[in-house]
Amino acid sequence: MYAYIIMIFVVIFYAGNILVGKAINELPPLTMSFFRLLIAFLLLLPIGFRSAWTQRSIFLEYKKPFLVMTFTGICFFNVFLYGALQFTTTAKVSVLEAVIPVATVLLSAFLLKERLGGIQWAGIFLSLAGAVWVIMDGKVLQLAGSGWNLGDGIMVGAILMWAVYSIFVKQYMHLFPQYGAVLVMTGISVIVLFPAVLIEWYFIGVPSLNGLNIVGLLYLGVFPSVIALVLYNRGVELLGPSRASVFLNFLPIATMAGAYLLLGESISVIQMVGAFVVICGVIFTTRPVRQPLTEKVDLKENKCS
């Protein structure tokens, strides 16, 4: 029961990332991302500094994949996400975010030549169909029409960012100390985003920080950036990665409920149906492919060779 409670809070905190990002979207996306990461960096400093420093040679040895993970997953993913929230609803963003595991599997099939079974391809089709259904408000025959908006396109960029990040995480993240890696990635992202924020302020002006904005930035820096990460890692330890990841499929439901209760957004039947289809597709897509039996059995010695 303890592990399930942990994962429920993880979903709530990650849903809060989208909800708070929408609530304070009077702040430009680069500004939101910068202050979120700055707060997270300060919180992670006492947790991850020692491991990052003692294993600094690993960061230098694998600097290229580490920088790819930094720029895609930590630096620019949330810039795209917060940018999308400037133009589209939280419901659409949450449904599109739920497609990320499917995009990751699909990208892995093309880049890493990973084999997909029939059930995986069916899941990919279901998830993409559900996402398009939500974006087009059910008017799928008008796919080339006016159902798309700028926020939907920006969110596609976020999906690609996280899909690339996930592929590199699978290949390289185990080489780095867990919290030390997040600390260094966050620190690099703060450095990269700082001049971008100054350029943003030059063109649109320095945004004013009212009470809501400050509380919102503190939430983004503390809960989805640090606490949710710690709790998710604990959940993986208790439940295993496969069972823990299933809980993330409920992110669209938690986000839609929060948008309705807290932000006053209307949630349509079309969006709920689309979210359900996407979740089903993700479950099918992320099921492990059954490997063919290739071992030859030695009947005399009763062993595999």
pLDDT of residue 39: 96
Tell me: the pLDDT tens digits for 80-119?
999 999 998 888 888 888 787 778 788 887 777 777 777 7
Joined together, the tokens standing for residue 275 give 């979210």
In a domain, 303, yes or no: no
pLDDT band at residue 245 using 50, 70 and 90 as cut-offs: low
* pLDDT value at 280 more than 90: no
Closest CA to 151 of 211, 195, 91: 91
Mean pLDDT throughout 187-197? 97
Backbone angles phi, psi at 300, to 5 degrees: -70, -40
Q: Which of 62-66, 82-86, 119-123, 173-177 has the lowest mean pLDDT?
A: 119-123
Instruction: Tell me how long the chain is.
Output: 305
pLDDT: is 155 or 147 the higher one? Answer: 155
Q: Out of 65-69, 251-255, 286-290, give the one with best mean pLDDT.
A: 65-69
pLDDT of residue 290: 58
Answer yes or no: are the C-beta atoms of 43 and 190 closer than 8 Å. no
Mean pLDDT throughout 176-183? 92
pLDDT of residue 292: 52
In a domain, 301, yes or no: no
In a domain, 16, yes or no: yes
In a domain, 236, yes or no: yes
Domain that holds residue 181: 2-287
pLDDT of residue 291: 53
In a domain, 17, yes or no: yes
In a domain, 296, yes or no: no
Full-model pTM:
0.83
* pLDDT value at 140 more than 70: no
* pLDDT value at 241 more than 70: no
* pLDDT value at 189 more than 60: yes
Give how many domains the chain has, as a whole number: 1
Question: CA angle at residue 172 from 170 to 176, to 5 degrees?
Answer: 120
Q: Which of 29-38, 80-89, 233-242 has the lowest mean pLDDT?
A: 233-242
Mean pLDDT throughout 160-169? 88
Coil, strand or helix at 229: helix
* pLDDT value at 48 more than 90: yes
Question: CA angle at residue 144 from 142 to 150, to 5 degrees?
Answer: 110
Answer yes or no: are the C-beta atoms of 279 and 252 closer than 8 Å. yes
In a domain, 151, yes or no: yes
Q: Which of 141-150, 176-185, 223-232 has the lowest mean pLDDT?
A: 141-150
Mean pLDDT throughout 278-302? 59
In a domain, 104, yes or no: yes
Closest CA to 253 of 4, 11, 6: 11
